[in-house]
Every structure is written in C-alpha cells, then in structure tokens.
Amino acid sequence: MTPHRFTTVGFDLDGTLLDTSGDLGAALNHALETVGRPAVPGAEVYRLIGGGSALMLRRALALTGGDQGIDFAALRQVLLAHYEANIARHTTFYPGTEAMLDALAAQGTRIAVVTNKPQHLADALFAQLGLTPRFACVIGGGRYPLKPDPAALHAMAQACGGGAAAFVGDTTFDTRAARAAATPSVAVSFGFCDAPPHALGADAVIDHFDELIPALARL
C-alpha cells in the first residue's frame, strides 16, 4: 500500500465523496416549481452546485428568469425542507469511494469531512447511508464561515489532533479554503467542478479514487 505523510485527510461532501446531484436537483426543481419556474435539467444541475444551497438557488433563479419578486429566504427553506425529507433517495458513491476510505483507515489515517452543507443535513445524510462511524469529524455549514474561508479546515485539523493534513474537493471553494489554511489539496475531476479540474488550483488532480493515495504520497 502506498504510504503518505498525512495524519488527517479531509474531504468535501457534495461532488467529492458523494454524487448528491439527484437529490439536490429534485429539491431545487421542487422549489422552482412552487414559484412557477421551469425545472433545471439534470445535466445543468451539476453546474449549479457548489458553495452551499443559497448559491445553488441563486444560480438557478438567474438561469430561469431572475429573482425579482422572489422571497428568497422562504424559497430556500422550501428547498431545504424537501431535500431533508428526501435526502438519500438518489445519492450514490463515486466509483472507488468505499475502497479508498477503507485503504486510508487501514493506514491509520484520520478521515474528516468539511462541507458547506448545513450541519444537520450532513449528519442526516451520513446517518442514513451508515457512513458516520468512518469519520473522525464532520464539520458542516453553520458552525464556521463557509468555504473558501479556512476556519472550518483549521477546526478540522484541531478536532483530529493536529499533524499534517490534506484536503480533497471538487471546486474552487475547496481549493481556496485549503490554500488559505496552508493545507495541500487534491481536486477530483468527476465532481461539480466550477472550473476545469486542472484550473481549480489544487496541488494534484485525480480522475478516480484509486489514484488518491498515490497522489497524496507525492505531495
């Protein structure tokens, strides 16, 4: 097994560990329907995710006619309520996720999650999927400023006992947070990338989770 130097490896959630686009898209389109907006096709949903539910909704409103006359806060609550009630219907692992987590655990690596998804939703999703015991900590939105602010990554390192840490994500929110936290980062090319994968600013880019531990070993 390829060795690496990191005592902790943190992950973004949406678009990195899990493909949540099906459930997020269903919640988004439910919210849009309540204000008479057309549904966003599944392929387009990928481009809207990243940076939290508020930004996803703002992007969707801009795409479907703008936000004039919209009670944005109320509409976001409609989205979140639908998502919470249907949080794991279509969410799937990306190929290799479970084997990669097993391999990191076998090396004694502490595994963490830092996501802009609200804390209670991250906790609910992991509980339904039986993932909670795999992680040393799960830090969701609401506890610290959202990425790209580095505060949550600093909290992750502290919660995991210090030592060298790396962070894995799929958007500039992740890579900018890692850079601000002086944490090496790996970008996955298969997520909700808001820029071409090699332009995200990560220290390494992988196309499959089979490549993660060798990439960490090179950092």
Task: Look at residues 185, 190, 212, 204 and name the one whose alpha carbon lies nearest to residue 114.
Answer: 185
Q: Of the residues 12, 14, 174, 194, which is catalytic?
A: 12
8-state DSSP, 14: B
What residues are paired with 168 via a beta bridge? 11, 186
Q: Residue 131 in contact with residue 97, Cβ under 8 Å?
A: no
Q: Residue 212 in contact with residue 206, Cβ under 8 Å?
A: yes
As a whole number of Å, the CA-based R_g of the chain is: 17
Collapse the DSSP code of 191 into the 3-class scheme (helix H, G, I; strand E, B; otherwise coil) and give the result: coil
Peptide bond into 118 cis (omega under 30): no
Question: Which residue in the block uniquely carries the two structure tokens 């991250």?
Answer: 122
The verdict on whether 23 is a catalytic residue reads no
Tokens found for residue 190: 């298969």
Q: How far is CA 49 from CA 61, 120, 135, 218, in A?
A: 13, 18, 23, 30
Catalytic residue set: 12
